[in-house]
Structure formats: structure tokens, C-alpha cells
Amino acid sequence: MVIAENTLGAREMSGGIIWLKPGGVTKPCHAHLKEEEIIYVVDGEGEVWVDGETAPVKTGDFVLFPKGLRHMLRNSGDAIMEVLFIFSPATDPSKYNLYPEVDFS
């Protein structure tokens, strides 16, 4: 995470940037029990999966992943997808609830 207490002094939020290759999926499926997550698609196109529902996303879109809902992101485009993510309150991957049995469908 590039936005964290140990990098920028942020105590109430955390975040960073991910780059997904074409066809790439943020796996495993996961949920955040105490944190909300917002993503912003900096560049590219794809789909979000939230508790079994899918929706398209593209450059300039914001998406909210409410706390407690399982979710994933897939790059359905032909180029690298760049996505900014922000959590509030701050978190890290060790606190995620993981659902490796769930696949993007």
C-alpha cells in the first residue's frame, strides 16, 4: 500500500494502485468486514463482481465496495488496466476475508 501510516502518515485510510494485465482478475475473491473500499479506474476497461452481480467499468468510473460484500475486478480489455483503490478505515490484506472457491462468473 502506498497510502498508509508508515508511508504518508495516513491513519484513517489506506490505498494504492494496481495494474491488471488483460484477462487478469483480483484473486482470491474477498471481503472487508470493517472497511469500505472505493476504486477509481484510471485507465482501461473491465468488470466488477459483487456478491454474484457483475457490472462493466471503464476509465473514469468510481465503484464502491461496501463492507462485508465479496468482490473481484477483471480486466476485460486489451491493455493494462490501472486502478486506484482507497480503504476507510485503513486496512491491509492480512485483514481480508478470503473466498478462494468463488470464481468470476
CATH architecture of 5-99: Sandwich (2.60)
Residue type, 51: D
**56: cis peptide before it, omega within 30°?**
no
User: Over the stretch 4-30, which tens digit does the pLDDT of each residue have?
Assistant: 888 888 888 999 999 999 999 999 999
What number of other Cβ atoms are within 10 A of residue 79's Cβ? 11
Q: What is the pTM of this model?
A: 0.92
User: Over the stretch 45-85, which tens digit does the pLDDT of each residue have?
Assistant: 999 999 999 999 999 999 999 999 999 999 999 999 999 99
